[in-house]
Amino acid sequence: MCGIIGYVGKKNSLHVLINGLKRLEYRGYDSAGVAFINKNNIEIIKEKGKVAELEKKIDFTKESNIGISHTRWATHGAANEINAHPHSCEKITLVHNGIIENYEILKKELKQKGYTFYSETDSEVVAVLLNDLYKENDIIESIIKMKKILKGSYALAILCSDYPNQIYTIRKDSPLIIAKDSEGSYVASDVPAFLEYTNKYSILAEEEIAILTKDNIEVINNKKEKITKETITFEGDINSSQKDGYDHFMLKEIFEEKDVIKRIMKDYNTFDKLIEKMKFLDKYKKFDIIACGSAYHVGVVAKYLIEEFANIPVNAEIASEYRYKNNFLDKESLAIFISQSGETADSIASLRKVKAEGIDTLGIVNVVGSSIARESDNVIYTKAGPEIAVATTKAFVAQLTIVTLMSLYLGYKNKNIKKDKVTEILKELDIIENNIDKLLKYDYKEIAKLLYKHEKIFFIGRGYDYAIALEGSLKLKEISYIHSEAYAAGELKHGTISLIEENTPVICLLTDENIIDKTISNIKEVKARGAYTIGVSNEEHEFLNNNIIIPKTKRIITPLLEVIPLQLISYEVAKLRDCDIDKPRNLAKSVTVE
């Protein structure tokens, strides 16, 4: 959600902080702020809106070698300058990512002690609380005490005016990483924030406190014992967080999808490699796939593929529901958590819940070393590289590639797909870029022109076509703000068909040849009510108003191709509507609150 970057070192901190915030802006962009120390004074500058607005207010000639900063995704209180971080109280200034669940009661107690609050945020309560505890005059001791009092999730970077050369950081259920180079020390929510200076970093654990100075980062535990941290090397390069000439990160990331699949396929492109990598699945007779948003849609595709090809029951579940309900897993079950960020609060909570019940867990995760990756019993990395656009595209395709390979393996293991067929499918996946190139060349602008002025658009399909329709619809609505719904084609007539009027666009996914006749009947039902129908299928259908042709490939691979035109249509529609494509309103990349 929110993004944090703090720096202490030889460089001008204002440059480091603003550059870092720009790279973290995908995490939140309601407002932004910095606090820096200039001649022993803590100065705070905040602004509503994007980092560029904040930048305009900053005098970069001011000397400062230490500061903390924040880009906000509002939870408590409107997006305005007062609610923007940093928040301060007397000697304490801090930035916060997460949600403090007991902030109301704490606020009441602190008000009774005479403190005044200026913002509506839970974060200001943390600053006031720490300031109050600090009156006992040991900042580390005060932070340890504060950790015992706070309930909820937090990543905090803290300045204390009595120690103008130090930044203190702690976290619980919100990510925070620390890094050091010859020029100073950094703390951030995510690697891109400091990637132009160093690609080496460490992950701060929940029970740790890091104290950053210009020459050193000391990490201690709650008993003040020193801890040696493992250093991780980030595998992408700085270019992965640049637009590289594309108008938007989203477009760049869609064009990277074929490389992402290629990268994954290096580990799976022969029968033997597939068996070696996936044989850990053998002992499981049932799967629950738990995720949010687009990652959940990958789970829905996986359900269709695994149930059809392997004849094994799969539940695809939304994490925010799953965490509060009963599951019916046992020792022969695997709970699979799909997540780009690996930090999605509801997915992490569901993971912890099933782990506590002794159920085996697998994370399918993009961000290396993230919470879901660390806490799952087993992890498969999706290797999509950093995804900057808030709407996921290449990470979705990477997740889909992994679940396709899992379905293929399970299909073989359960004797539904023969060895030579497996090899054939792997070969086809290995050269999928030829088919993707054909799809990328298509003129989606023309389709977008037909759609962008409409107020509602429907997506329909059956089987895995329906699962991909869910994703197409989400992509369209989140970046273009057109109301869109995805329906199982046969379900529309049970109520929603009343919304179809003359010229209502319906995007019809009909690649699944096993059920195409049924889908065609449903399309005719909407056509009869005036719908403008756009087909996404393997062949031209005359009864449709428009056709997008997906190159014919093996059935199990088709969802991977089919989603690409839908991503590009959403992109072009959002462009025609002049939307902020990479940073859609109200959204954030990493949803670290419940």
| Shortest Å, Cβ 367 to ligand F6R | 8
Q: Which is nearer to ligand F6R, 478 or 572 (CB)?
A: 478
The percent of the chain in helix, strand and coil, each rounded to the nearest 5, is 40, 25, 35
Q: Single out the catalytic residue among 2, 160, 292, 508.
A: 2
CA distance 592 to 594: 7
Of 242, 321, 458, 146, which Cα lies nearest the Cα of 156?
Answer: 146
What is the sign of the dihedral through the CA atoms of 166, 167, 170 and 175? negative
Residue 57, φ and ψ in degrees, nearest 5: -90, -5
422: its two tokens? 């497996």
The structure tokens listed for 409 are: 């393996």
Q: Which residues lie near ligand F6R (CB under 6 A)?
A: 292-295, 339-341, 344, 347, 391-392, 474, 478, 590-591
Whichever of 26 and 234 has its CB closer to ligand F6R, that residue is: 26
DSSP lists the bridge partners of residue 181 as 184
Annotation says 160 is catalytic: no
Question: What SS3 state is found at 586?
Answer: coil
Q: Nearer to ligand F6R by C-beta: 348 or 523?
A: 348
Secondary element (H or E) of residue 105: helix 103-112
Q: How far is the CB of 591 from ligand F6R (least distance, A)?
A: 5
Helices 139-149 and 123-134, axial angle in degrees (round to 10): 130
Q: Of 92 and 336, which has the nearer Cβ to ligand F6R?
A: 336
Q: Which is nearer to ligand F6R, 34 or 155 (CB)?
A: 155
Q: How far is the CB of 168 from ligand F6R (least distance, A)?
A: 28
Number of H helices, E strands in the chain: 19, 24
CB of 339 to ligand F6R, least distance (A): 3
CB atoms within 10 A of CB 266: 10
CB of 320 to ligand F6R, least distance (A): 10
Residues ≥6 apart with Cβ < 8 Å to 256: 384, 385, 394
Find the residue with minimal CB distance to ligand F6R.
293
Residue 27 or 87: the one with the smaller Cβ distance to ligand F6R is: 27
DSSP string, 187-245: EESSGGGTTTT-SEEEEPPTTEEEEE-SS-EEEEETT--B-PPPPEE--S-GGGGS-TT
Nearest to 320 by CA among 291, 283, 357: 291
69, 216, 431, 508 from 434: Cα distances, Å = 44, 50, 6, 24
Query: How far is residue 561's CA from residue 563's CA, in Å, rounded to a whole number?
Result: 6
- Tokens 């085996």 label which residue? 360
Per DSSP, the residues of 267-288 read TTSSHHHHHHHHGGGGG-SEEE
Cis amide prior to 86 (ω within 30 degrees): yes
2 is catalytic: yes
Alpha carbons within 13 A on the beta-carbon side of 404: 27
CB of 391 to ligand F6R, least distance (A): 4
The minimum distance between CB 337 and ligand F6R, in angstroms, equals 8
Overall size of the chain counted in residues: 594
Rounded Cα distance, 449 and 443, in Å: 11
| Residue number, 167 or 292, with CB nearest to ligand F6R | 292
Give min distance, CB of 486 to ligand F6R, in A: 13
C-beta of 296: minimal distance to ligand F6R in Å?
Answer: 7
Nearer to ligand F6R, 158 or 298 (CB): 298
Enter the DSSP assignment of 173: B
Nearest to 279 by CA among 419, 406, 432: 406
Query: Hey, what are 21's tokens?
Result: 């915030």
- Least distance in Å: CB of 347 to ligand F6R? 5
Q: Which is nearer to ligand F6R, 376 or 392 (CB)?
A: 392
Choice between 347 and 533, CB closer to ligand F6R: 347
Q: Which residues on neighbouring strands pair with residue 220, listed in sequence order?
A: 209, 226
Q: Which of 50, 383, 477, 589 is catalytic?
A: 589
Q: Which sequence positions are flagged as catalytic? A: 2, 589
